[in-house]
Amino acid sequence: MKLIVGLGNPGTEYQHTRHNIGFMVLDSLAELWGVHFATQKKLKSEILVTMHTGETIILAKPQTFMNLSGVAVQKIAQFYKIKPQDVWVISDDIDLELGTVRTRVGGSAGGHNGLQNIIDSIGADFMRLRVGIGSNRAMKIPAEAYVLQQFSTAQLAKLPEIIEKVIATITESLENKPKTTTKK
């Protein structure tokens, strides 16, 4: 059994922001697999449970807001008895070039408050799928403001390809043993 968590913030005002790339990936994956999310209030998430490659897969979009993502992840992991090693988290990464996908197990949060809250809640031994959203350096605005902005028009044009790349990484990882990689 695997728990794949897409990080983001609930609500239409955050729907297409850079911080919500995790939600966007899971929405596309659910559409591809022909399954739908349902709100599970006691798990503080939108959840779907399905089978893929002979394994039970739980997709989850925490509804706790980014900085408290660990609260929902911990509740889901406890409810379904999932070990941290079987938890995969998709998050935005401001330090990666737009479209770069980096996977690894363990490590620090790298300044990402949602990842830090998950580490604080279940430990650090989970898979991270970090998706590059580009840097805020050229815009000279705080990271907190940058991640809550909508993707630019040029970035939006690249988004389907980026999401497809993340889904391919997930699919490959479900079919094979996960390993640390960087894709550009």
Rg (CA), the chain: 15
Comparing CA positions, the residue from 99, 94, 102 lying closest to residue 135 is 94
Residues 6+ apart with CB under 8 A from 135: 94, 95, 97
Q: State residue 135's pLDDT score.
A: 86
Q: Measured on CA atoms in the order 104, 122, 9, 42, is the torsion positive or negative?
A: positive
Q: State residue 183's pLDDT score.
A: 53
- CB atoms under 10 Å from CB of 62, counted, come to 31
pTM for this prediction? 0.93
Domains and CATH numbers, the chain: 2-183 (3.40.50.1470)
Q: What is the residue type of 145?
A: A
Residues 6+ apart with CB under 8 A from 11: none
Q: What is the residue type of 161?
A: E
Q: State residue 179's pLDDT score.
A: 43
Contact call for residues 39 and 94 (beta carbons, < 8 A)? no
Please indicate whether residue 19 is annotated as part of the active site: yes
φ, ψ (nearest 5 deg) of residue 183 = -120, 140
Q: What's the rounded Cα separation, in Å, for the pair 95 and 28?
A: 24
Q: For every one of its 184 residues, what pLDDT tens digit does the chain have, with 9 covering 90 and above?
A: 999 999 999 999 999 999 999 999 999 999 999 999 999 999 999 999 999 989 999 999 999 999 999 999 999 999 999 999 999 999 999 999 999 999 999 999 999 999 999 999 999 999 999 999 998 877 788 989 999 999 989 999 999 999 999 999 999 999 885 444 455 5
Q: What's the rounded Cα separation, in Å, for the pair 1 and 49?
A: 10
β-pairing verdict for 87-93 and 101-105: unpaired
Q: State residue 181's pLDDT score.
A: 47
Q: What's the rounded Cα separation, in Å, for the pair 106 and 125?
A: 5
Active-site residue among 16, 19, 36, 112?
19
- CB atoms under 10 Å from CB of 104, counted, come to 14
